Amino acid sequence: MARIQASRVVWDSLFTLVFPASCRVCQSAIEGFTPVPVCPACLRAARPYAGLECAGCGLFLRGNAALQETLYCGLCLQGAFVFEQARSFGRYEGVLRSLIHHLKYDGFRPLARPLGKLLAHTVQRLDAPVFDLVLPVPLHSKRQRRRGFNQAALLAAALSAELSAETSPVSGIRVRTEDCVRVRDTRPQTGLRAAERRKNVDGAFEVPRPERVQSRRLLLVDDVITTGATVNACAQALLDAGAGRVSVVTLARAHPEDADVL
């Protein structure tokens, strides 16, 4: 089954390259060859979040929260997260949501490259954008075999390549996909309340070789953050293994009240 899924992903990408047809986002005709069925206008349409965000976890602050005399959300004031900071490029809606879905569920892996540019933009919003390693949030081996790939790993590789092409303090950081692994095949987070999400991923990650992350400054990469439970559990495993600090970047932020994502 896993081989069939992987073969289908490869064939879909090849077919799309030769016969692009129409944009899967706006339905307009695409002229010329393209590695993904998305027009250039839609690839440029995703806009970065420009409002107030929590100084810690990066939660996009709504009107009533923004009126408080602090830039930290309630969870960060309570010390709920072990990662240093998290930032997301934009809201999980509209074109950005469509692009993520086409990468994650339709297997259009070349989309990782333009999305990596958005992540590079997001890294610059961190207070300390200097890292030793980039790590994708891992999938359990069973789920990765079914899907054929880990979208977070594709995004991490694209981000690293983008940063390496720039003159910046974070250029040249390496991607490590094996330094943190998911050892428990957790149920999907969809539909779970915040407390249930935290319990679901508690102890789900391990670091096989702690010496590889010892005292390192790590950047975790994922596609979407909702309550922060998954990235926090992953960061906890890395810090328990001796990591110096862990920060997080994702493409999108889904508000917990609106989320239908993992």
Range of the domain at 234: 2-253
On whether residue 259 sits in a domain, the answer given is: no
Instruction: Give yes or no for a contact between 150 and 103, defined as CB atoms under 8 angstroms apart.
Output: no
Q: What is the structure's pLDDT at 164? A: 78
Which residue, among 105, 101, 88, has the nearest Cα to 42 in the 3D structure?
101
Q: What is the structure's pLDDT at 202? A: 76
What separation in angstroms does the CA of 171 have from each of 48, 127, 164, 205? 21, 16, 4, 27
Distance separating alpha carbons of residues 243 and 231, to the nearest angstrom? 15
On whether residue 258 sits in a domain, the answer given is: no
Q: What is the structure's pLDDT at 13? A: 52
On whether residue 260 sits in a domain, the answer given is: no
Among residues of the chain, what percentage have pLDDT more than 90?
Answer: 57
Give the model confidence (pLDDT) of 222-233 as tens digits: 999 999 999 999
On whether residue 262 sits in a domain, the answer given is: no
**H-helix or E-strand containing 148?**
none
H helix runs in 30-140, sequence order: 40-45, 63-66, 74-77, 94-104, 112-123
pTM: 0.83
On whether residue 169 sits in a domain, the answer given is: yes
On whether residue 261 sits in a domain, the answer given is: no
Instruction: Give yes or no for a contact between 171 and 194, defined as CB atoms under 8 angstroms apart.
Output: no
Structural domains of the chain, count: 1
On whether residue 161 sits in a domain, the answer given is: yes
On whether residue 228 sits in a domain, the answer given is: yes
Number of neighbouring beta carbons within 10 Å of residue 200: 17
Give the model confidence (pLDDT) of 104-128 as tens digits: 999 899 999 999 999 999 999 999 9
14 pLDDT exceeds 60?
Answer: no
